[in-house]
């Protein structure tokens, strides 16, 4: 199905929850709504589902205007952060409920329920009531019921946020496979850039109710059209440093010159962006060196996030492995100019790296 939002806006009293936006999620694929809390993700999904009406704009499904059509008249599956299950029904019957509504019975129904339950690691709970399960297990039941419905539009509002880390990682991989095997148009909201990269597909970046950029996830990550997009799609946030254009490149304020082919006249001010994962301790040919002192070293899973005070500004480096760096330790960070972004004074992208950043997801294992 083709869902199209045309000039959608949402205002409540004097507050603007969603600025007018147009968005057409790719049919049969995953579109991730990426943004911080209160970016507008849930408000947008409620309009997609028919739970709320937009203040302005139209919602179309395969060209048909469904703006005023209530959710009960739409074939939509939705899962919220907070699980919703039928408390008087067993896990099996919760998952089977949408299948029974469409007329499935017998062995086919049994097979489908058990297949989905096995994928979500809840097959041993099929005879229990939801109240006998943990919060994470109940969330998986809600996910299973939505997947069983096999609706043409599936809306998932941070469905893994209440699960523990290990299970969250397992289910991300399982969900990616389940989405790929189905025909549904999937819209998946998350605050985590790493989750967007793992799910792939397409990403719409939202901030303060505005749609900043939409496109294939890898393209949005590697070529954020503005500083606002780069901040939203980086964890930890992209390092942003003031600089100006000089002969042969860009000079960091109080620091070295980075050889870069930049548009604009000498003396023009700009902002350089360096992802935390692009900073290293080991030197490579052509690297720029940024000496400084460690202010904090956070060991998180298989990565260490090192906060460094340098002459050009405060930097955060994401280093692979465990690095025991005491506060005050002198370090020299290295970065290749080929991995540096440039933004103009309005915050719009001037120059992006010509080769991909390292494939590690932002935020590592946090």
Q: Are 59 and 8 in contact (CB under 8 A)?
A: yes
Order of strands, sheet of 288-300, starting from the edge strand that comes earlier in the sequence: 313-320, 303-310, 288-300, 330-335
Q: Are 185 and 13 in contact (CB under 8 A)?
A: no
H helices of 255-322, in order, are none
Dump pLDDT digits (tens) for 199-220. 889 999 999 999 999 999 999 9
| pLDDT reading at 162 higher than 80 | no
Fold of 3-227: Rossmann fold (3.40.50)
Burial 299-338 (b: 16+ CB within 10 A, else e): eeeebbbbbbebebbebbbbbeeebebeeeeebebbbbbe
Burial 169-204 (b: 16+ CB within 10 A, else e): eebbebbeebbeeeebbbbbbbbbbbbbbbbbbbbb
| pLDDT reading at 360 higher than 70 | no
pLDDT computed for residue 365 by the predictor? 41
User: In sequence order, which residues have a C-beta less than 8 Å from that of residue 8 and are 6 or more positions away?
Assistant: 18, 20, 21, 22, 23, 44, 47, 54, 56, 57, 58, 59
Residue 41 is encoded by which pair of tokens?
């993700």
pTM above 0.85, yes or no: yes
Rounded to an integer, the average pLDDT of 148-163 is: 86
pLDDT computed for residue 140 by the predictor? 86
Rounded CA-CA distance 299/322 in Å is 6
Element at 188 (helix H, strand E):
strand 185-190
Residue 355's pLDDT band (boundaries 50, 70, 90)?
Answer: low
Domain boundaries, the chain: 3-227, 234-351
State the CATH architecture for 234-351: Beta Barrel (2.40)
Residue 212, Cβ density class (10 Å: 0-12 exposed, 13-18 middle, ≥19 buried):
buried
Mean of all residue pLDDT scores within the chain: 90
pLDDT computed for residue 16 by the predictor? 96
Rounded CA-CA distance 32/205 in Å is 8
Dump pLDDT digits (tens) for 27-61. 989 999 999 999 999 999 999 999 999 999 999 99
Rounded CA-CA distance 256/289 in Å is 8
């Amino acid at each position: 199905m083709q869902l199209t939002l045309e000039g959608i806006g949402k205002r409540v009293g004097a507050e603007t929850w969603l600025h007018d936006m147009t968005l057409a999620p790719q049919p049969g694929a995953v579109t991730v709504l990426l943004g911080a809390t209160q970016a507008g993700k849930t408000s947008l999904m409620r309009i997609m589902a028919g739970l709320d009406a937009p203040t302005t704009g139209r919602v179309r499904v395969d060209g048909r205007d469904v703006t005023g059509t209530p959710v009960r008249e739409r074939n939509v599956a939705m899962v919220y952060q907070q699980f919703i299950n039928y408390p008087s029904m067993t896990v099996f019957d919760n998952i089977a409920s949408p299948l029974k509504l469409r007329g499935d019975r017998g062995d086919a129904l049994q097979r489908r329920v058990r297949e989905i339950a096995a994928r979500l690691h809840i097959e041993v709970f099929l005879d229990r009531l939801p109240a006998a399960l943990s919060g994470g297990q109940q969330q998986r039941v809600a996910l299973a019921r939505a997947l069983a419905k096999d609706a043409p539009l599936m809306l998932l509002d941070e469905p893994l946020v209440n699960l523990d880390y290990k299970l969250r990682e397992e289910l991300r991989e399982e969900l990616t496979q389940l989405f790929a095997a189905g025909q549904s148009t999937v819209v998946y909201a998350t605050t985590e850039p790493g989750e967007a990269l793992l799910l792939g597909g397409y990403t719409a970046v939202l901030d303060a109710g505005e749609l900043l950029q939409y496109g294939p996830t890898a393209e949005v990550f590697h070529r954020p059209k503005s500083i606002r997009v780069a901040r939203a799609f980086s964890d930890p946030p992209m390092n942003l440093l003031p600089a100006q254009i000089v002969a042969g490149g860009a000079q960091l304020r109080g620091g070295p010159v980075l050889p870069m082919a930049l548009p604009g006249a000498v003396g023009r001010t700009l902002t350089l962006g360096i992802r935390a994962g692009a900073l290293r301790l080991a030197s490579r040919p052509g690297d720029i060196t940024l000496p400084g002192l460690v202010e904090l070293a956070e060991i998180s899973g298989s990565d260490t996030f090192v906060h460094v005070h340098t002459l050009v500004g405060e930097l955060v480096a994401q280093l692979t492995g465990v690095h025991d760096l005491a506060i005050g330790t002198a370090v020299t960070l290295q970065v290749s100019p080929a991995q540096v972004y440039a933004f103009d004074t309005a915050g719009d992208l001037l120059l992006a790296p010509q080769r991909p950043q390292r494939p590690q997801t932002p935020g590592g294992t946090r």
